[in-house]
Structure 1
Amino acid sequence: MSAITVYCCGSGNTREDSKWLVPTLWARDVRINNKLILDGPGTTHKLGKTSLEKAKNGHQIKLRERSGAGKKQYEITGAPAKGNTSYAATWIGSHLNKEQCLISQVNLIGFSRGGATTIQIAHMLSWFLKNKDIDLNIFTFDPVPGGSNFDKSGFGKKSAGGFHLLSTCVSNYQTIPMLNIKKYLVKVLVKKDKSFPCTIPMALSKKTNYKIIPLPGHHGDACRATPGPGLQANTSTIGHFLAQKFLEEHGVQFSKKGPTEKDALEAYARIRMLYMPGGEHTVSRNREFVSTILKKRMMNLPVNVDERDFYVNDHHYELMKNANLCQRLTDTRVHNTVAHLPAYPRTQKALSAWLNART
């Protein structure tokens, strides 16, 4: 199985931003000729040689001219997002049009406005992939269409398909929407400012394997390669695990291993202990959160109602199930749960605290 992958940075981010996960994964992707990275909207990166294009073409391949934006508009509003979209679609098409093409997977991954870019790239490829036996796979972190450049960036109502819809050519779509528990972001949501909250596109095809994995935290917490302490450290572990696993399942090879299932499970336990005490999904250590946001994004879990409030989301449940730790949380004698728990110290501590809170 051969794959090509496009990595889309968020606003103001470039491939040199090693603190972010998208450029970090691009740097660790060992397939030199089968990867492309797009600097985020609003960047004014110097021209330079890449592993894919000749130096004369430049770092962004004259995206300002392609987007039709003026210099100041290009630098401030992030207008080249539309140029990024067109260029990525053209680059993918050029690979698929080669004689004896062996590519069976096209992967797109992006954060913030880069995530919205992946949705638009899929729309531009829909006609091209219509009758081809090729899977288009998308992974996004908090995809945000944008504010000041909403229409100019190609994500408005006049765009190819709209950021609120997922192209029928998408085979797999996985997204991590952040619940934005930071105080100033809650204020943005309360004011109903539609420029910031991430978009959850609706799948147009029943064949699309669609998965939403909501996480508590601030915009970008799950997409950090060098996270800070507390919540960010744990959500970034989960985000890294999910993104790298998703790409590896679709033909990408990396030079460095990412977090394991155990790492992700223990990160969920830490989140459970610090930010969801007593089974209250709407409470953090610092302040109450808008409960409706989480309720709308939580998936229905196939477990006993009394046990459902232990899990952060359905992915947490899935990992617990894989580790044989969730047969009956309220009865730790079932299926050797006690024997398994010592290998997961944080999970054991979180489960004990949850059980004690229930008694």
Structure 2
Amino acid sequence: MTIVTIFFCGTGSTKFDSSNENYWNGELVTTLASNHAGREFAEWAVINGPGTSNLQADELLTRTKDYGLSGTLFGKGWEENVQHALNLIKGKSDWQREQLTEAEYNRLKAAGIPIEDVKSEGSWFWRKYNYGDRSITQQKLQEQIIKTFRNGIIPTQVNLVGWSRGGISCHMLANAMFKDAELKNIPVNIFAIDPVPGIGNFQEHRVKLNPNVKEYVGIYARDERSKGFSCVIPQTATGTKTSILPMPGRHATLVGNAAGDGVSGPSVLTEPGRLVRHLAEACLRRWGTKLNKSLELTDADLLSLSAKMVEDATHYKAMEKHSYTYFTERDEGERYVSLGTKGVKFTTVQGPIYTPATGLATSVLDVQAYRQIL
């Protein structure tokens, strides 16, 4: 059995955020990726979120470009991220980064490697430089790693983890797999943390899931009120085990930002991040993903975390006055969310199709609800 796990970072988040100072113990998605016990590319991969410029463009298995601010505002670049993940699952790229970068050229020169001198063209005002060609591209290297270390090129299962637009990217990839004849029947499991698509991004392939998704676990920030941060509870297929839980705090609180306002400052509200990490680790292990280390919280730990979150209720309530986008929005005092393509109030998302049935109205003291996911 070959299991591939793909980690999608949120908007503005990169594979290096496991050591980002904005998160008291590392941003969750990248921390989970860094703790994977298998071989990168063959068994797992972490993909930078939209709005992170083109820092990862050199190693993607599909061509992309620097979308700059449009990546942050509108998610530009995530379609290429999904295509890269699709190619990675198949073990084959659709392009090659054949030319050396300036940094690579200088490193080879400094090492005494016999390569041609840099070539330039154009006048001094718009001069361009050609640093030569690579003998082995990053794409070829990844393909060879997959061929050598993956037990069969096409995996038998795919697990997806994502936060923010990374959570929506999980939806997009699962749907892209379902449309692909070669990948359609591969079972997919998704752990999504506050999946937020941004304004104008509620198309069906982002808010609806097909029957190839066998289990969906979504954790949602109860106290987020930023305008344009409506989260998605996807419409899942009959037969998909669908678990949704609310969590105190804002959008970034759930992945390890423990500041009182959900942005910056002393780490005073660590409990939601710890609990979400425990749930993610437990699901991944249950789905067959190998992790080097995990929190492995006990029932007593869960009770303690829940009690502390209730004790800090006024602090979480105060978070609702803050916004990443300056403006806030409310629906009769609750967060406004998207149930598929329909806008509804946060706590109305419940019913027998969910585990637990109390859905987003579940109490933080309901430890039994956590056990149903574990």
1:264 maps to which of 302, 305, 314: 302
Map Cα deviations across residues 316-358 of structure 1 (whole Å, 9 max, x no partner): 2345899xxxxxxxxxxxxxxxxxxxxxxxxxxxxxxxxxxxx
1:197 equivalent to 2:230? Answer yes
Partner-residue secondary structure (3-state), 1:140:
strand
1:213 equivalent to 2:248? Answer no
1:25 equivalent to 2:62? Answer no
Write the distance in 2 (CA, Å) between the matches of 1:246 and 1:299.
22
| Cα gap change, 1:39 to 1:100, in 2 (>3 Å) | closer
1:82 maps to which of 79, 83, 94: 79
Q: CA offset at residue 260 of structure 1?
A: 1.1
Determine the structure 1 residue equivalent to 2:279.
242
Task: Normalising by structure 1, report the TM-score.
Answer: 0.66
Q: Tell whether the 8 Å contact from 1:39 to 1:60 is kept in structure 2 after alignment.
A: no
Determine the structure 2 residue equivalent to 1:177.
220
Partner letter of residue 64 of structure 2? R
Q: Tell whether the 8 Å contact from 2:90 to 2:153 is kept in structure 1 after alignment.
A: no
Partner letter of residue 177 of structure 2? L
Determine the structure 2 residue equivalent to 1:325.
none
Q: CA offset at residue 224 of structure 1?
A: 1.3
Write the distance in 2 (CA, Å) between the matches of 1:310 and 1:108.
24
2:173 maps to which of 107, 121, 129: 121
Q: Tell whether the 8 Å contact from 1:119 to 1:167 is kept in structure 2 after alignment.
A: no
Map Cα deviations across residues 62-121 of structure 1 (whole Å, 9 max, x no partner): 6534xxx76664577541111101111221133899884583320010000100111000
Write the distance in 1 (CA, Å) between the matches of 2:151 and 2:371.
46
| Cα gap change, 1:28 to 1:129, in 2 (>3 Å) | farther
1:167 equivalent to 2:167? Answer no
State the aligned residue count. Answer: 279
Partner-residue secondary structure (3-state), 2:31:
helix
Write the distance in 1 (CA, Å) between the matches of 2:181 and 2:280.
24
Q: CA offset at residue 163 of structure 1?
A: 1.6
Partner-residue secondary structure (3-state), 1:168:
coil
| Cα gap change, 1:250 to 1:63, in 2 (>3 Å) | same
| Cα gap change, 1:30 to 1:225, in 2 (>3 Å) | farther
Map Cα deviations across residues 208-247 of structure 1 (whole Å, 9 max, x no partner): 01000111211121111777644x3110111001111111
Task: Normalising by structure 2, report the TM-score.
Answer: 0.63
Partner letter of residue 37 of structure 1? V
Write the distance in 2 (CA, Å) between the matches of 1:252 and 1:14.
21
1:290 equivalent to 2:327? Answer no
Q: Tell whether the 8 Å contact from 2:257 to 2:270 is kept in structure 1 after alignment.
A: no
Q: Tell whether the 8 Å contact from 2:178 to 2:184 is kept in structure 1 after alignment.
A: no
Map Cα deviations across residues 36-63 of structure 1 (whole Å, 9 max, x no partner): 111010102545xxxxxxxxx7244565
Q: Tell whether the 8 Å contact from 1:265 to 1:320 is kept in structure 2 after alignment.
A: no
2:50 maps to which of 19, 41, 46: 41
Partner-residue secondary structure (3-state), 2:64:
helix
Q: Tell whether the 8 Å contact from 1:8 to 1:117 is kept in structure 2 after alignment.
A: yes
Partner-residue secondary structure (3-state), 2:156:
strand
Partner letter of residue 272 of structure 2? T
| Cα gap change, 1:319 to 1:137, in 2 (>3 Å) | closer
Q: Tell whether the 8 Å contact from 1:10 to 1:40 is kept in structure 2 after alignment.
A: yes
Q: Tell whether the 8 Å contact from 1:221 to 1:235 is kept in structure 2 after alignment.
A: yes
| Cα gap change, 1:90 to 1:156, in 2 (>3 Å) | farther
Determine the structure 2 residue equivalent to 1:134.
186
Write the distance in 1 (CA, Å) between the matches of 2:183 and 2:5.
20
Partner letter of residue 58 of structure 1? D
Q: Tell whether the 8 Å contact from 1:213 to 1:313 is kept in structure 2 after alignment.
A: no
Write the distance in 2 (CA, Å) between the matches of 1:156 and 1:285.
29
Partner-residue secondary structure (3-state), 2:305:
helix
Partner-residue secondary structure (3-state), 1:64:
coil
Q: Report runs of 4+ in structure 1 exceeding 6 Å deviation.
A: 95-99, 129-132, 285-289, 299-303
Write the distance in 2 (CA, Å) between the matches of 1:28 and 1:71.
30
Determine the structure 1 residue equivalent to 2:103.
none
1:93 maps to which of 63, 83, 90: 90
Q: CA offset at residue 311 of structure 1?
A: 3.7
Structure 2: gaps of 5 or more residues: 19-25, 93-145, 260-265, 322-331, 336-344
Q: Tell whether the 8 Å contact from 1:272 to 1:310 is kept in structure 2 after alignment.
A: no
Structure 1: gaps of 5 or more residues: 48-56, 278-282, 323-359
| Cα gap change, 1:176 to 1:238, in 2 (>3 Å) | same
2:311 maps to which of 273, 293, 298: 273
Between Structure 1 and Structure 2, the one with more helix by share is: 1
Determine the structure 1 residue equivalent to 2:107.
none
1:112 equivalent to 2:150? Answer no
Q: Tell whether the 8 Å contact from 2:334 to 2:346 is kept in structure 1 after alignment.
A: yes
1:253 maps to which of 283, 290, 298: 290
Partner letter of residue 46 of structure 2? I
Determine the structure 1 residue equivalent to 2:4.
4
Q: Tell whether the 8 Å contact from 2:191 to 2:218 is kept in structure 1 after alignment.
A: yes
